[in-house]
Amino acid sequence: MNLTLYVWRQKDAEDKGSLEKYDARDINHHMSFLEMLDVVNEGLIQEGVDPIAFDHDCREGICGMCSLMINGRAHGPEKATTVCQLHMRHFKDGDTIYIEPWRAKAFPVTKDLIVDRSAFDRVMQAGGFVSVNTGGAPDANALPIPKANADVAFDAAACIGCGACVASCKNASAMLFVSAKVSQFALLPQGHAERKQRVEKMIAQMDEEGFGNCTNYYECEAACPKEISVRFIAKMNREYLMATIAK
């Protein structure tokens, strides 16, 4: 199939950037979306045009590196699918596709489709851990954890830190990402000792990074490739309330 692409090109963080038009020819429907871009890039190189820069690594939907807005949707049209796992069979001959980077104040564009998501790392550094040093941990089975809690904690822990939730939110809120980590630890006994300070610190850092507020549009949940539930946002709000009341 043949496609028309409009791709965001921006030389570096300072550059203004613009959408450029490219043709994608002879695309096989078994290709992944990123393989389609590889083919386009190979053509650009042959023409002497700077290839399109985009983030990717594992190409199997788990590292969270890939991050494209496709026709205005984070990770494209397929539900619960990262863009590296999106295949061209979901497009048809003659389609026009707009490809843009994540857009959020806290995620400045580095080049073309690549953004800087280090704000997520700083939120994690503020409290996304259990303070336990290496060595001296008790036997792993000394602490039974009800399967139901462990399962929900896992649902939260499945977040890949891609940032699609932020990119798809009108307010560029990071609530889904932050609440996933807060909830994972709030649901597990290991996380209890630091429960209050964790939620406070992570939220404070989230605000400092310039992420917006949550006004319950739930676009984040719809875009999330790991189907992280907005129930975790409610859980984080409760955790936060409890922490501040305790003060």
Six-digit token pair at 224? Answer: 């999330």
Binding ligand SF4 (rule: CB under 6 A), the pick from 3, 86, 180, 188 is 180
Partner in contact with 165, chosen from ligand SF4, ligand FES, other proteins, none, beta carbon below 5 to 8 Å by kind: ligand SF4
Contacts of 78 (CB under 8 A, 6+ apart): 85, 86, 90
**Whether 244 contacts 99, CB under 8 Å:** no
**Pairing of the two strands 73-74 and 69-70:** antiparallel
| Of residues 145-204, those binding other proteins (CB under 8 A) | 145-147, 150, 153-154, 157-158, 160-161, 184-185, 188, 190-191
d(CA 51, CA 68): 16
Q: Tell me how many residues contact ligand SF4 (CB under 6 A).
A: 14
Which residues partner with 22 through β-bridges? 5
| Of residues 69-128, those binding other proteins (CB under 8 A) | 78, 81, 85, 87, 89, 110-111, 114, 116-118, 120-121, 124-126, 128
d(CA 238, CA 208): 21
Binding site for ligand FES (CB under 6 A): 56-59, 61-66, 82, 84
**Residue 49 or residue 213: which is nearer to other proteins going by CB?**
49
Query: Terminus-to-terminus CA distance in the chain, angstroms?
Result: 62
Q: Is 140 in the site for other proteins (CB under 8 A)?
A: yes
Question: Which residues contact ligand SF4 (rule: CB under 6 A)?
Answer: 159-165, 176-177, 180, 224-226, 228
